[in-house]
């Protein structure tokens, strides 16, 4: 295929990718959007395979790689549980990073295939772009491996901190810069691999101080990096499609990181410096600091069922704890029974519910909760005032009014769901432990709050049983 034709094909693919993202503005158009993305990718691959100079041997090799990788990818995508989605995405990011490293290496050892010079005599500008793509790709790889290990529980979610950590990272960053400059000046293969090694180490060191609960930000950030890595490679080999797609993905990941940070009222710097939170979040002992307060009111599932049976408007507030207990299905059953009793049910989702952006929406959709019953914080917050019941399951910090009133609180300024304004608030919790921010929730002690102690799934099941009576 002539050069012009393949460039044209890449242009079509870029437009299709933009349309794929555009489709996600609404669940109804999203499925078609995904299809556009697939078609775009198909066109890009076909156009590349049809370029002049592609030997039969090369094409066979490429098809073999596509078949092997495609089979593995399809199997992974079909088998993964939706609760493990964040791990899968982190693992996928690491692969993009590694692919970027290998493409950079291929361009370094065979620059003539990409028209950027000859082995040992590559254009300086291309070397700059190559080292950028290489470094970002390598950081994406090792950073994503750590994020995967933390999310998958293969490694403790608690932050790993040591003295002089940030100084070490800054020094390594400066060293990386020096290596890049030397590499551009000399084009030495040893420096190429040193840049790769140093970037691997840097990616690893950048992510280990970040706590398990901050992983939503990290996953979004690595999503962004994988885009910038693709764009860097695009500049290296002068490919328009890689540049456009890299920019789209980079922007997308950056926006998601911003949304996640805003949902926690933390700056990205604060998240990156790390040291916040642990994996389980039950750091504070049960009942800590409760001595001088009114006793909490604990209720039985039967009490809750009775109150909800007579309620008109019920808002369910699910948190990650619900997903851990695998309670989403039974929550939906409870909602169905209450709808039969004439109640209006909606779900309120905090931006940082779940372990990646939008995770909770997927988990609820999987349990057959219609998406038009699920609302974001800004949409639903005003409605708590008219609600008879707020059913908080597996969430804590995101409902804590201290975020609005207590300037000394670790979560001060974080947007919260105003469950306190509902007539009755149910908290389904295992015990009195505080959330991952380690802050007491004064809501537990309010007269309109009833605590339902126990496993999220079991408690909800018992409510379902009493509703069926």
- Which positions are annotated as active-site residues? 397
Of the pair 394, 454, the CB lying nearest another protein is at 394
- Minimal distance in Å, beta carbon 183 to another protein? 17
Q: Which residues touch 86 (CB under 8 Å, ≥6 apart)?
A: 151, 215, 216, 219, 354, 355, 356, 359
Cβ distance to another protein smaller for residue 48 or 158? 48
> Of 113 and 310, which CB lies nearer to another protein in the complex structure?
113
Q: Contact between 81 and another protein (CB under 8 A)? A: no
Q: How buried is residue 25: exposed, middle or buried, by Cβ count under 10 Å (0-12/13-18/19+)? A: exposed
Whether the Cβ atoms of residue 22 and residue 33 lie closer than 8 Å to each other:
yes
393 scored as a contact of another protein (CB under 8 A): no
Closest distance of CB 308 from another protein, Å: 20
Nearest residue to 319 (alpha-carbon basis) of 375, 376, 395: 395
Per CB under 8 A, 3 contacts another protein: no
Contact present, 84 and 76 (Cβ < 8 Å): no
Structure letter (DSSP) for residue 36: H
Closest approach, Cβ 167 to another protein, in A, equals: 32
Q: Select the residue interacting with another protein from 1, 95, 282, 284 (CB under 8 A).
A: 95
Alpha helix positions (H), 152-300? 165-186, 189-207, 215-237, 240-264, 268-273
Q: Is 92 in the site for another protein (CB under 8 A)?
A: yes
Between 262 and 430, whose beta carbon lies closer to another protein? 262
Task: Verify binding: residue 107, another protein, rule CB under 8 A.
Answer: yes
d(CA 290, CA 281): 18
**Under the criterion CB under 8 A, does residue 25 sit at the interface with another protein?**
yes
CB under 8 Å, gap of 24 or more: what pairs does 403-410 form?
Answer: 403/265, 409/439, 410/437, 410/438, 410/439
Residue ranges in 263-322 that form contacts with another protein under rule CB under 8 A? none
Q: Which residue shows structure tokens 């690893």?
A: 204
Residues 213-242 contacting another protein, CB under 8 A: 219-220, 223, 226-227, 229-231, 233-242
Residues from 355 through 384 that contact another protein (CB under 8 A): 356-359, 361-362, 365-366, 368, 370-374, 376
State the minimum distance, in angstroms, from the CB of residue 87 to another protein. Answer: 12
Q: Is 331 in the site for another protein (CB under 8 A)?
A: no
Q: What is the nearest approach in angstroms of another protein to the Cβ of residue 226?
A: 5
* 130 counts as binding another protein under rule CB under 8 A: no
Q: How many CB atoms lie within 10 A of CB 178?
A: 9
- Please state, in angstroms and rounded to a whole number, the distance separating the CA atoms of residues 254 and 225: 9
**Separation of CA 278 from chain center:** 17
Structure tokens at 306: 């009775």
Tokens standing for residue 253: 């990941």
| Nearest approach, Cβ of residue 24 and another protein (Å) | 4
31 binds another protein (CB under 8 A): yes
**Single residue of 175, 251, 307, 324 touching another protein by CB under 8 A:** 251
C-beta closer to another protein: residue 210 or 248: 248
């Amino acid at each position: 295929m002539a050069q012009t034709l393949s460039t044209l094909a890449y242009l079509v693919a870029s437009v299709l990718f933009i349309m794929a993202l555009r489709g996600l503005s609404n669940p109804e158009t999203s499925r078609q959007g995904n299809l556009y993305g697939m078609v775009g990718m198909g066109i890009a691959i076909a156009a590349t395979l049809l370029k002049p100079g592609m030997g039969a041997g090369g094409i066979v090799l490429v098809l073999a790689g596509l078949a092997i990788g495609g089979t593995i990818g399809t199997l992974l995508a079909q088998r993964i549980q939706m609760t493990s989605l964040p791990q899968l995405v982190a693992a996928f990011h690491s692969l993009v990073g590694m692919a970027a490293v290998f493409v950079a290496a291929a361009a370094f050892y065979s620059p003539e295939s990409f028209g950027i010079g000859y082995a040992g005599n590559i254009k300086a500008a291309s070397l700059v772009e190559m080292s950028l793509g290489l470094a970002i790709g390598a950081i994406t790889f090792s950073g994503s491996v750590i994020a995967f290990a933390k999310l998958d529980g293969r490694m403790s979610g608690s932050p790993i901190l040591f003295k002089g950590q940030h100084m070490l990272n800054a020094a390594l960053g400066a060293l990386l810069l020096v290596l890049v400059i030397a590499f551009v000046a000399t084009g030495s293969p040893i420096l190429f691999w040193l840049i790769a090694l140093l970037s691997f180490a840097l990616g690893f060191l950048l992510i280990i101080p970040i706590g398990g609960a901050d992983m939503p930000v990290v996953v979004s950030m690595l999503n962004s990096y994988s885009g910038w890595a693709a764009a860097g490679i695009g500049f290296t080999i002068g490919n328009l499609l890689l540049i456009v797609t890299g920019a789209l993905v980079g922007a997308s990941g950056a926006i998601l990181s911003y949304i996640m940070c805003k949902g926690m009222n933390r700056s990205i710097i604060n998240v990156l410096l790390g040291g916040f939170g642990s994996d389980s979040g039950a750091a504070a002992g049960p009942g800590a600091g409760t001595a001088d307060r009114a006793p909490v009111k604990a209720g039985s599932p039967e009490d809750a069922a009775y109150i909800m049976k007579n309620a008109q408007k019920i808002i369910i507030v699910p948190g990650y704890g619900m997903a851990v207990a695998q309670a989403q299905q039974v929550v939906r059953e409870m909602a169905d029974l209450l709808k039969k009793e004439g109640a209006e049910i909606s779900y309120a989702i905090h931006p940082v519910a779940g372990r990646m952006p939008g995770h909770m929406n997927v988990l609820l959709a999987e349990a057959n909760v219609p998406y038009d019953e699920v609302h974001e914080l800004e949409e639903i917050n005003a409605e708590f005032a008219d609600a008879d019941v707020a059913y908080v399951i597996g969430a804590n910090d995101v409902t804590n009014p201290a975020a609005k009133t207590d300037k000394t609180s670790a979560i001060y300024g974080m947007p919260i769901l105003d469950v306190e304004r509902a007539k009755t608030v149910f908290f389904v919790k295992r015990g009195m432990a505080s959330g991952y921010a380690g802050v007491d929730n004064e809501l537990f002690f309010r007269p309109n709050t009833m605590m339902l102690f126990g496993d999220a799934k079991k408690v909800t099941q018992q409510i379902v049983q009493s509703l069926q009576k």
